[in-house]
Amino acid sequence: MDLNTPNIDIPFYQPAGDEIEVFEHAWKNRLPLLIKGPTGCGKTRFVAHMAARLGRPLYTVACHDDLTAADLVGRHLIGDGQTVWCDGPLTRAVREGGICYLDEVVEARKDTTVVLHPLADDRRLLPIDRTGELLEAPPGFMLVVSYNPGYQNLLKGMKPSTRQRFVSLRFDFPEAAREEAVLRGETGCDADLARRLVGIARALRALKDQDLEEAVSTRLLVYAATLVGAGMAPLPACRAAIVESLTDDAEVAEALMEVVAATFGH
């Protein structure tokens, strides 16, 4: 497969640095990958892009504190009077030589993530206790995990011993020109709208430590551009797609809308 050949089936992704090269080399050399960065900065899109680029099936798991090992590995189910084993997404990825992506992995319970350890070292094994199987991951399999280090508290941080099992990439929000290119590529919006939305994001991100728990994500800018492209006026589109997603406080929302209004000249 020629990795430089464009493919309309590959999700759009605007590179920031050498992350594509790092991912490709990690996959070729059977190394697990950790991606850390703020919410909505493109981690999930990047993994989807790379899975399509490499021609591998992708299994994505949104981790949470109720996630069990059985949710990842699989369980016995009863149907039609018989018990049948059903693979979980991690097991399917191993069997098929695909990519298993665990989003916000630190949200999962510690006893759940233990099943990842033999897959995240040179053994590349997945023991399935309930079936007695010991699966050896084929060359095409890759384990990818992500988390937001700025959002997690100390109790949910990733242990250093776990981090050191992975090759790691640090993501952040794009610099202005690249973020504008992302908006144009994702939504087909014109350069002026992209510039204004990115300007709003940069202004609101400066307020993050004072008024907002989370910064404006590139994802929210894409939503706003999509709404404008569908015919909504910019101000209500930005309120619905950006402002109300950032805060529940009415006064803070109105302050944020002042930034939006100033940007669009209303």
CA distance linking residue 96 with residue 32, whole number of Å: 16
Which tokens in the block code for residue 41? 């900065």
Q: What's the pLDDT tens digit per position in 179-199?
A: 999 999 999 999 999 999 999
Shared domain for 35 and 108, answered yes or no, is yes
Shared domain for 185 and 166, answered yes or no, is no
> Is pLDDT of 157 > 80?
no
Amino acid letter at 254? E
**What is the pLDDT confidence band of residue 27, given thresholds at 50, 70 and 90?**
very high
Asked, for residue 125, whether it belongs to a domain, the answer is yes
81: containing domain: 19-170
Shared domain for 92 and 160, answered yes or no, is yes
Shared domain for 24 and 148, answered yes or no, is yes
CA distance linking residue 182 with residue 219, whole number of Å: 10
Q: Check residue 229 and give its pLDDT.
A: 96
Q: Check residue 208 and give its pLDDT.
A: 56
Asked, for residue 8, whether it belongs to a domain, the answer is no
Residue 211's contacts (CB-CB under 8 Å, 6 or more residues apart) are 247, 252, 255
Q: Among residues 139, 170, 201, which one ends one of the domains? A: 170
Shared domain for 157 and 72, answered yes or no, is yes
Shared domain for 61 and 142, answered yes or no, is yes
Asked, for residue 12, whether it belongs to a domain, the answer is no
Pair 171, 36: CB distance under 8 Å: yes
Total structural domains in the chain?
Answer: 2
Asked, for residue 4, whether it belongs to a domain, the answer is no
Q: What's the pLDDT tens digit per position in 104-131?
A: 998 888 778 888 999 998 999 999 988 8
> Is pLDDT of 158 > 80?
no
Integer CA distances (angstroms), 107 to 87, 93, 149, 161, 246, in order = 22, 21, 11, 17, 21
Shared domain for 126 and 36, answered yes or no, is yes
Mean pLDDT to the nearest integer, 236-261: 94
Pair 173, 236: CB distance under 8 Å: no
Shared domain for 62 and 89, answered yes or no, is yes
Shared domain for 220 and 197, answered yes or no, is yes
Shared domain for 146 and 187, answered yes or no, is no
Shared domain for 164 and 238, answered yes or no, is no
- For the chain, state the CA radius of gyration: 21
Mean pLDDT of the chain: 89
Judged by average pLDDT, the poorest of 38-52, 81-95, 111-125, 153-167 is 153-167
